[in-house]
Amino acid sequence: MRHIARLAAALLVLMACGTAHSSTVRLTTASSAGDVAGRELREQTADEQVKHVLNRLAFGARPGDAERVREMGVDRWIAMQLSPASIDGRSTERFVARFPALAMSPEQLLAEYPQRQQLVRESRAQKSDLTASDSMRLKEAGRLSRQLLTELQTAKVARAVISDRQLEEVMVDFWENHFTVFAGKGPERYFLGEYERESIRPHALGKFRDLLGAVAKSPAMLYYLDNWESTVDSARPALVSRAPRGKSRGLNENYGRELLELHTLGVDGGYTQADVVNVARAFTGWTVEKPRQNGTFVFRPAMHDAGEKIVLGHTLPAGRGIEDGEAVLDIVSRSPATAHFIAAKLVRRFVSDSAPPALVDRVAGTFARSGGDIRECLRTIFASQEFFSRAAYKAKVKSPFELVVSALRAVSAQPDSTPRTAQMVARLGEPLYGHLAPNGYPERGDAWINTGAILQRINFGLAVAAGRVPGASLANWPDGRELAAQPREAQVDGVIRTILAGEASPDTRKVLELGVNPMAGDSAAANAKSDGFANIVGLALGAPEFQRR
């Protein structure tokens, strides 16, 4: 069992080292004339470049993808992914259309899926005790609310699995995490569909300022960071006077702080507590119209602090309204600190956890020159030597979401219309729309890897191969049908070629030959050997080579 112990140890240090490669550095030029970098030298071989882009710009390869990218040329395929409108997305939209809640407005959702709190308020307004009928309505409201969130999670996984617009899905996931909102707080889940549909997706490859503005006016963000109830303090001048109505809540700094720390400048971005306060003052009055009925963005002058404000050295004159918030978004989106912060996050996502500083600087320069054009920033990354370097190849550990989607794509799974696949993502540690804090899920691999997590990942791979994940069946996997009828040694070779893209350490190969779960423990492993083809596939999906991208 030495091979088993060695592979278990390799899994435990997965986040610290990459898959072993030849020490020989091969320099190849771009595979097509479309290379915007002018045929820069690349350390990865031509085949490695194909695998690399499918693991970084996409959620892994589906059967046949590598051949298509190789035939098209890596650089032409990158250019195509940077222009998602040129890629037919009708089949994906047809599948997503089976979840009608995704296309509904918050007003429609609040009518169709009433909030439990809303029903309680209605009962109290009628000054009556809860009847048995009321209790049933409350129970049904809770079920519908959960169903709404489930549909959002299910559709997110399905899109990532089947869409040919893979880079768009990667970037939607990136920005939803960057501008994270928590579905478990208040009414946020009623606004998540609109948030993705109108705030995130249309701007995922566009101008950062447009994306930032759409997020700032999203009811999902206004609720999550409490800006919807942030008002001018009583000691300061309001834009317009109003008769007092109930208790004024006063200034709330949550959105102002996170806008600077997490959305734009970064924690070391050079802002002060006074900047946080003045940014919060600038966004007073940015609120939600009829929050329990339609929940659209509205600016309320009576809530707005009309005094002079100084933000990052810029003076916002007194007597203005919504222009204050818009001016703040202009200031922070043009800041060199924002350019560097966003560049570093993009480089960390697409190149390596260490985010090579020279590349970050170049991407920040592109951000500044292009007015925050996200597509151009990505183009700079994908044309760089750092992106196609030896150090970047298989340098990233897959998050639970990336792992689940890539495994399903690898075996040509059909999209799951049930909540089970999304629930598996949650069990692996990344519940979708379930991150409580505003900093989003981590981009670093060491956050995802420990002994328990590795065992769960291997068990997930075995579940996929055994057909226990809806839509995944080795009988429907073209390579699987052919390999299932072959001798075990040929099966192992075939699984390494297809699932692991031809890359397997001697220890991984031995585990596949033995058919033993390396994390099961010596006594359990001794009794866990399986000669089944599904077991080979499942163990490959749990191997170190598949856990990295």
Per-residue model confidence (pLDDT) at position 6 = 67
- State the sign of the Cα–Cα–Cα–Cα dihedral 441, 445, 448, 454: positive
Give residue-wise pLDDT tens across range 34-65: 344 434 589 999 999 999 999 999 999 999 99
- Which residues, 6+ apart, have CB-to-CB distance to 258 below 8 Å? 225, 438
Angle, CA of 476, 478 and 402, to the nearest 5°: 75
| Higher local confidence (pLDDT), 141 or 349 | 349
pLDDT computed for residue 27 by the predictor = 34
Query: What is the arithmetic mean of pLDDT over 385-413?
Result: 97
Of residues 64 and 109, more confidently modeled = 64
Other beta carbons within 10 angstroms of residue 26's beta carbon come to 12
Q: What is the mean pLDDT of residues 159-186?
A: 96
List the structure tokens of 68.
């298509």
Share of the chain above pLDDT 70, in %: 84
Report the C-alpha gap between 38 and 412 in whole angstroms. 35
The pLDDT of residue 523: 47
Report how far apart, in Å, the C-alpha atoms of 462 and of each of 62, 78, 466, 496, 542 are.
Answer: 18, 32, 6, 16, 8
| Alpha carbons 352 and 387: distance in angstroms, whole number | 9
CB atoms within 10 A of CB 371: 12
343, amino acid identity = A
- Please state the φ and ψ torsions of residue 368, each to the nearest 5 degrees: -65, -45
Asked if residue 360 lies in contact with residue 338, where contact means CB atoms within 8 angstroms, the answer is no
Q: Could you tell me if 18 and 544 are in contact, meaning their C-beta atoms sit under 8 angstroms apart?
A: no
Question: For the ranges 10-24, 141-155, 199-213, 401-415, which has the lowest average pLDDT?
Answer: 10-24
Beta strands in 130-172 (DSSP E): none
More confident position, 341 or 122: 341
Q: Is 139 a residue whose pLDDT tops 80?
A: no
Q: What is the mean pLDDT of residues 338-365?
A: 98
pLDDT of residue 178: 98
How many CB atoms are closer than 10 A to CB 470? 16
Round to whole Å and give the CA distance between 518 and 525: 7
Better-scored residue on pLDDT, 20 or 196: 196
Average pLDDT over residues 369-394: 98
Give the separation between CA 294 and CA 105, rounded to whole angstroms.
8
Per-residue pLDDT band for 137 (boundaries 50, 70, 90) equals: low
Helix or strand (DSSP H, E) at 534: helix 533-541
Q: What does the radius of gyration of the chain's CA atoms come to, in whole angstroms?
A: 26
Least confident span in 69-78, 81-90, 247-256, 309-318: 247-256
Return mean pLDDT, the chain.
Answer: 88
Given this model, what pLDDT does residue 294 score? Answer: 74
Residue 450: what pLDDT? 86
Q: Which amino acid would we find at residue 114? A: P
pLDDT at 141: 59
φ/ψ bin of 502: left (φ > 0), alpha (ψ from -120 to 50), beta (otherwise): left
Q: Mean pLDDT lowest for which of 52-66, 229-243, 298-312, 480-494?
A: 229-243
CB 52 within 8 A of CB 501: no
Burial group, residue 473, by CB count within 10 angstroms (0-12, 13-18, 19+): middle
Other beta carbons within 10 Å of 527: 8
- Give pTM, 2 decimals: 0.91
Query: Buried b / exposed e across 67-79, counting CB within 10 Å, b at 16+?
Result: eebeebbbbbbbb
The percent of residues in the chain predicted with pLDDT above 90, rounded, is 74
Query: In the predicted model, is pLDDT for residue 222 greater than 90?
Result: yes
More confident residue, 29 or 501: 501
* pLDDT band, residue 436 (cuts 50/70/90): very high
pLDDT at 135 over 70: no
**Region for 429 from its dihedrals, namely left if φ exceeds 0, alpha if ψ lies in -120 to 50, beta otherwise:** left
Q: What is the token pair recorded at 486?
A: 């072959």
The token duo for 150 is: 């489930």
pLDDT-wise least confident of 87-101, 196-210, 287-301, 413-427: 287-301
Q: Give the per-residue pLDDT at 146.
A: 83
Q: Per-residue pLDDT tens for 286-340?
A: 999 987 677 899 999 999 999 999 999 999 999 999 999 999 999 999 999 999 9
pLDDT at 428 over 90: yes
Integer Cα distance of 363 and 274 in angstroms: 30
Question: Are the C-beta atoms of 428 and 460 separated by less than 8 Å?
Answer: yes
- For the chain, the 3-state helix, strand and coil shares in percent, each to the nearest 5, are 55, 5, 40
What average pLDDT does the segment 417-434 reach? 96
